[in-house]
Structure 1
Amino acid sequence: MPPRRAVTGRSQEPRQRFIEELRLLRAQKGVSLRQLGEALGWDWSLFGKMESGQTIGSPEVAQALDQYYGTKDLLLTLWELAAGDPKQFKERYRRYMALEAEAVSLWHFGVSTVHGLMQTDEYAHALLVVGGIKGDELTRQVQARAGRRELLVGEDAPPFRTILSEAVLRTALEDPAQWRKQLESLNKAAERPNITLQVLPHGSRLHGLVSTDVMFLRLPDGRTAAYTENAHHGELIEEIASVERLQHAYDAVRDLALSPVESRKFVMRMLEEVPCEPST
């Protein structure tokens, strides 16, 4: 095998380097994408998407490829570099937004915040400010989230289920009036026939999404994609086995959540706890 360039955090194009290594190693092995998929137990189309740059896959896939090619941790290291690349994050998120717009149904679990599709302008503004967004970019992102809400409005709006951890409903905005508006917006949205709101109360047992926000998108061709996110990182997941594992975890969370009727009552109780504005 020819000598390789050093893999360091100073690489200027980690995503492209990852793609080049995937193509090179498969060519040297002399196997087709289909043969690679059969050998590793993944859908062969995943490897095609990785080699074309549509996705970087998951760390589990990178590890499996390292074992198959006998490259120790080379591909896993390159995967980590590509996953941490800000440009790669933006590309993943743009693809997620495109898939969200065409989804025929959506279901979500939120650990600490309301999903962007359900945020009021005031909530979105406060959340973005805490994240360090300011100036014209802040205005642009708030407007973008307002536009996204239109996805769930109208006769052709897709079904959307959101399960919110109780922590979401107890993490109030600093301004009581703005927080009241967000809770009222959630309650009103839950009246629409295409939206289902559930609450996962404190005291529920441990589950597989205890620290993970996730959105599932059922696409017109029958596939399901998932997007997991925390405050610092987001990952679009399209590999079938990985999505199915997340779906099983989501099903367990749904079983632990309050019913839609009880959840709306819960939101109403939260509204009653919001301080009223003093009379003048």
Structure 2
Amino acid sequence: MDDEQDPRQRFAEECRSARDLFPERRLNQTELARMVRVSKSTISRVEICEGPIPPDLPPLLDQVFSTDGLFKRLYEQIAAGSFPAHSRRRMVLEPRAVAISAWSPTVVPGLLQTGAYARALFRAGDPRAGERELVHKVGARLARQDILRGSSPPDFSVVICESVLRRNVGGPEIMRNQLAALLLDGSQPTTVLQVLPFSAETHGLMDGSLSILTMPDGGTVLYTEGIRSGAIIEEAATVRQLSRAYDVLRASALSRDASADLIRELMEAS
């Protein structure tokens, strides 16, 4: 098929085609739904490009149809298309990374946001956004988090500025729930969450956020982001410089346990 075809449309067509060409016999929607443990209406909506695709459906379709990750790859392209153009390549690379390191000086990183926290950010960023648009944006952001909840999540290291924990996004209840979610996420064996305290000195990443993606081949890709812009960085010298700055930042942050204690203290005080 044409590589430029809309991935959502191709997902629907591949699903219909795979049903029609199933080796034993043609599958109807009800039979496929039973095999992938969803409702017939879900399969119907997927095949007419209506509504979101359940995040656990693509790998099940790949399993049933023996399509070697085709549906998973298309789903990643669909998910990436929900984000601004400047961050779409990152959204494609992120699910493939074997390790992710992140520094966030302003907000809770998207991979760790609750739905209510994300919604408050989107509402503040675009006060004229309609309800459907907000639901779509929040859903797309939360779908990214599937990579941390699968059977083989990447190693995840994240440093969050203390100001992020103290900033009242969405009100006390939303922040209390967000802090509780950070405690839970930070307790996962593949996640190391640290807080950079106000007492830390000047560092090399004060200008903005940074994500470091380590790919299966050992290559490293960096992503930096501003208010309405972002950039992928692959130039070796810059990657080395910024990765070193992140290492220094981690060394200046509170330990994993001390970070959890601070989050717990702020949650109980809110």
* Matching residue of 2:68: none
Q: CA deviation at 1:243?
A: 1.1
* Matching residue of 1:94: 88
Q: Secondary structure at the residue paired with 1:226?
A: strand
* Matching residue of 1:155: 151
Q: CA deviation at 1:160?
A: 0.5
2:249, 2:107 → 1: CA distance?
A: 16
Within 5 Å, give how 1:215-226 maps onto structure 2: 215-226=211-222
Stretches (4+) displaced over 4 A: none
1:94, 1:149 → 2: CA distance?
A: 16
Q: CA deviation at 1:264?
A: 0.5
Structure 1 counterpart of 2:112, from 94, 112, 118: 118
Q: Secondary structure at the residue paired with 2:189?
A: coil
The worse-fitting range, judged by mean Cα deviation, of 165-174 and 254-263 is 165-174
Q: CA deviation at 1:171?
A: 0.5
Within 5 Å, give how 1:156-175 maps onto structure 2: 156-175=152-171
Letter in 2 for 1:106: I
Question: Identity rate of aligned residues, in percent?
Answer: 38
Q: CA deviation at 1:236?
A: 1.2
* Matching residue of 1:243: 239
Letter in 1 for 2:266: M
Q: Show CA shifts across 1:183-235 (max 9, x none).
A: 00000111110111000000211001112100110011111111111222211
* Matching residue of 2:76: none
1:202, 1:253 → 2: CA distance?
A: 13
Q: Show CA shifts across 1:246-271 (max 9, x none).
A: 11111111110001011100101111
Within 5 Å, give how 1:68-107 maps onto structure 2: 90-107=84-101
* Matching residue of 1:15: none
* Matching residue of 1:37: none
Q: Give yes or no for contact 2:212–2:220 (8 Å, CA) kept in 1.
A: yes
1:110, 1:148 → 2: CA distance?
A: 17
2:98, 2:196 → 1: CA distance?
A: 25
- TM-score of the superposition, structure 1-length normalised? 0.64
Q: CA deviation at 1:146?
A: 1.3
Q: Give yes or no for contact 2:101–2:156 (8 Å, CA) kept in 1.
A: yes
Letter in 2 for 1:94: R
Letter in 1 for 2:90: Y
1:131 paired to 2:125: yes
* Matching residue of 2:204: 208
Q: CA deviation at 1:175?
A: 2.1
* Structure 2 unaligned spans of 5+: 1-82
- TM-score of the superposition, structure 2-length normalised? 0.66
Q: Show CA shifts across 1:153-180 (max 9, x none).
A: 1330111111001011011224211111
* Matching residue of 2:195: 199
2:265, 2:106 → 1: CA distance?
A: 19
1:182, 1:243 → 2: CA distance?
A: 31
Q: Give yes or no for contact 2:194–2:253 (8 Å, CA) kept in 1.
A: yes
Which protein has the larger Cα radius of gyration, Structure 1 or Structure 2? 1
Q: CA RMSD in A?
A: 1.6
Q: Give yes or no for contact 2:156–2:191 (8 Å, CA) kept in 1.
A: yes
1:268, 1:262 → 2: CA distance?
A: 10
1:140 paired to 2:136: yes
1:265, 1:90 → 2: CA distance?
A: 35
The worse-fitting range, judged by mean Cα deviation, of 106-115 and 233-242 is 233-242
